[in-house]
Amino acid sequence: MSPGLSRTLTIIAAAVLAFDGAAIALLGWWSGRVGMSIIGLALFLSSGLVLLYWRWYRRRLADIAAARRALRDEAREMQQMLRKP
């Protein structure tokens, strides 16, 4: 998946979760249901966690890609050393 598409989908998911959480929290506040308000706030705050996790995920993917490049370069160097007479 491309980084742009991944970013777009993550932002949409976080926005939907934030909107749903805010709507449930407000509905709970207007109806006087404390439990519903707490659940709504939890959903709203979890949208921020989605964004934080996505950033962590992208960093890990970059680390893995760098490690793969380093391993590939090392393997090429070994092949070149073995081919030299």
- Does 68 have pLDDT greater than 80? yes
Q: Give the DSSP letter of residue 32.
A: T
Distances, alpha carbon 39 to alpha carbons 8, 10, 30, 51, in Å: 26, 21, 14, 19
**DSSP state string for 42-53:** HHHHHHHHHHHH
Say whether pLDDT at 3 is over 80. Answer: no
Q: pTM value?
A: 0.71
Q: What is the pLDDT of residues 12-65, one digit of tens each?
A: 999 999 999 999 999 999 999 999 999 999 999 999 999 999 999 999 999 999
| Whole-number pLDDT of residue 17 | 95
Q: How many domains does the chain have?
A: 1
pLDDT of residue 78: 93
Q: Which domain holds residue 71?
A: 3-83
Question: Which tokens in the block code for residue 4?
Answer: 């742009």
